[in-house]
Structure 1
Amino acid sequence: MRQVNGNPRSSRDPAPSRLRYRLTRLWLRPSFRKFLNVGIPLSVGVLAAGTFLTQFDIRGEAYALFQKVHGIVVEQPQFMITEMAVPDVSEDLAEQIRVAAFVTLPASSLEVSVAAVRARIESLDAVERARVQLRSDGVLEIRAIERVPVVVWRTADNLQLLDATGVRVAEIDSRLRRPDLPLIVGAGADAQVPEAMLLLDALQPVAARVRGLLRVGERRWDVALDRGQVLRLPETDPQGALRRILDLNNGDQLLARDVQVVDMRNPDRPMIQISEHAISEIDRLKRMSLGEDA
């Protein structure tokens, strides 16, 4: 008969060790298993690829090859722009357009953005809108609609040419550069160019005497004539008030008389201011009628 050892410590303990228990618990976590199965192989692959590229400079060689192929393609004769055409505009504006286009010839059409060229040209004050076309004969054709100045606007700082909508066309250094255009003066006058043009059109019967339009308080207009005469127009319906003044001039030669100011700011109570000389003459005539001036 086999003798049984009575010492329990001599038999092996079936319970796992503390380290094995912790490793088992760690393995049961999904994030840990994902890290072992995916993270470590991916890290090793990235490290190996980086080492390979660094050692053999494949990235630099690939970029150099791309640059070489790109240069060969873009420099093909059929893609080259050799001339820039800017027809149907003034020579001054054509030169501004060539500079604004910012295209150094010869250039490859594959490297020129038509939209960017058009945007740069339309940013010019003198250009209303533009059309840019790459022609098959190697010509970059730019057709621009030029803004036409209709008035000279005198501000506190400079003289500007404005088109019929009040948009700035250019700046000039002297009124003598555009004596053919009417003059408007005052803050806010640029925003009222359409109304100013209507007034100037109504003033055609005395156009030779008109020196300019003055915007007063950004609310209304004064018309400056030669001989220092001023026509003060109301805020509302200035054209109607101007027609009344011109009707009086046609019938009674009002503006040919010694009148200094015709004030129509209140159309119901128009006022006329005569000159100092006229007042002196009236006083003299009164004294003569009373026998004071023999």
Structure 2
Amino acid sequence: MQPVSPPPRDPAPSRLRYRMQRWMLTPGIRLGLRIGVPVTLILAAVTGYLADSERRQGLLLTVSDIRASIEERPEFMVNLMAIDGAGSNLSDAIRQAVPLEFPISSFDLDLAQIRARIAELAPVKSVGLRVRPGGILQVDVTERVPVVVWRTRTGLELLDETGAHIQDIPRRSVRGDLPLIAGEGAEHRVAEALALIEAAEPLGDRLRGLVRVGERRWDVVLDRDQRILLPGADPVSALERVIALGQAQDMLERDVAVVDMRLMARPTLRMTSDAVQDWWRIREINASGQ
């Protein structure tokens, strides 16, 4: 008898091997084997190296030395601060607000913080900051321009056209060239006050100032203790009307104490006490003569 040959071997993989091959062919596993395994080995090596505190300290010192050698190169050093657009007083105030010690590396300058400190100064309207070639910290300042003197209960202040505080002054004579305003809330209506002052130009040197009353309207104060009481709405037109009447009839040159324009449809005049006494005296004389 001839021996029985074994059945031919099945070339197909087993089910387990088939599943393993399919699993190895998935994109995530292939990516993990190609990238994840090397990265893991590298991280393990680095972690093992840095596990020693002396090695960590040495590495930090090396990095620090490299960083310092770059930051302290001459082309990165700032040697002085230049301030443009500010007067001598404001320039001194800026240098006091930002006490930098030169030379200093530009990497150690916090420009945003420096800009914020300078912008907090009352006389500064706006500020720009940059590091110029040659190691110069350039500060470009737009200074607030005072337009009025505001008299408050505590003293005198200079305000710009927006009503922003600039500085205190000890005496009115320090800025006698600027118009005077007073009263609570006057700082919020500086633009309106300037319009009234412009309209009052025909009065010349007779104008003494403006007083804000009740935070809602203005009084125009003239010499000889005369006052023009203006309405809350459209005060410029009311003042122009008073000035026109004064020019036509010399109203403001007479013994008038108050011109009340609060009711535009019915303006009233209040005479001085001397004028009232003279009027009563004349009336009594006329009555006795009759």
Map 1:233-244 → 2, pairs under 5 A:
233-244=230-241
Matched with 1:83 is 80
Q: Distance in 2 between matches of 1:278 and 1:242?
A: 24
Matched, 1:267 2:264: yes
**Paired residues of 2:157 and 2:169 also in contact (CA < 8 A):** yes
Q: Distance in 1 between matches of 2:54 and 2:177?
A: 70
Matched with 1:108 is 105
**Paired residues of 2:158 and 2:169 also in contact (CA < 8 A):** yes
**Paired residues of 1:185 and 1:214 also in contact (CA < 8 A):** yes
Please say which of residues 95-104 and 228-237 is displaced more in the overlay. Answer: 95-104
**Paired residues of 2:85 and 2:143 also in contact (CA < 8 A):** no
**Aligned residue type for 1:112:** L
Matched, 1:57 2:54: yes
Q: Distance in 2 between matches of 1:289 and 1:250?
A: 32
Q: How many angstroms does 1:56 deviate by?
A: 4.1
Matched with 2:277 is 280
The SS at the match of 2:215 is coil
Please say which of residues 101-110 and 82-91 is displaced more in the overlay. Answer: 101-110
Structure 1 residue runs without a partner (length 5+): 1-44
**Aligned residue type for 2:287:** L
* Per-residue Cα deviation, 1:80-134 (whole angstroms, up to 9, x for no partner): 1111111232111111222233422111112113233222222222111111121
Q: Distance in 1 between matches of 2:62 and 2:184?
A: 62
Q: How many angstroms does 1:197 deviate by?
A: 0.5
Matched with 2:127 is 130
| Aligned match for 1:166, one of 150, 163, 166 | 163
Percent identical pairs in the alignment equals 39
| Aligned match for 1:176, one of 164, 169, 173 | 173
Q: Distance in 1 between matches of 2:53 and 2:202?
A: 88
| Aligned match for 2:228, one of 224, 227, 231 | 231
Question: How many pairs are equivalent?
Answer: 248
**Paired residues of 1:186 and 1:214 also in contact (CA < 8 A):** yes
The SS at the match of 2:121 is coil
**Aligned residue type for 1:281:** D
Matched with 1:121 is 118
The SS at the match of 1:133 is strand
| Aligned match for 1:197, one of 186, 194, 198 | 194
Matched with 1:15 is none
Matched with 1:21 is none
* Per-residue Cα deviation, 1:119-161 (whole angstroms, up to 9, x for no partner): 2222222111111121111111111111101011122223221
Q: Distance in 1 between matches of 2:58 and 2:148?
A: 62
Q: How many angstroms does 1:164 deviate by?
A: 0.7
Q: Aligned Cα RMSD in Å?
A: 2.3
* Per-residue Cα deviation, 1:163-195 (whole angstroms, up to 9, x for no partner): 111112222233222111111111111111111
Please say which of residues 196-205 and 66-75 is displaced more in the overlay. Answer: 66-75
Matched, 1:219 2:216: yes
Please say which of residues 98-107 and 82-91 is displaced more in the overlay. Answer: 98-107
Please say which of residues 278-287 and 195-204 is displaced more in the overlay. Answer: 278-287
**Aligned residue type for 1:144:** V
**Aligned residue type for 2:128:** R
TM-score using structure 2 length = 0.78
**Paired residues of 1:101 and 1:118 also in contact (CA < 8 A):** no
The SS at the match of 2:60 is helix
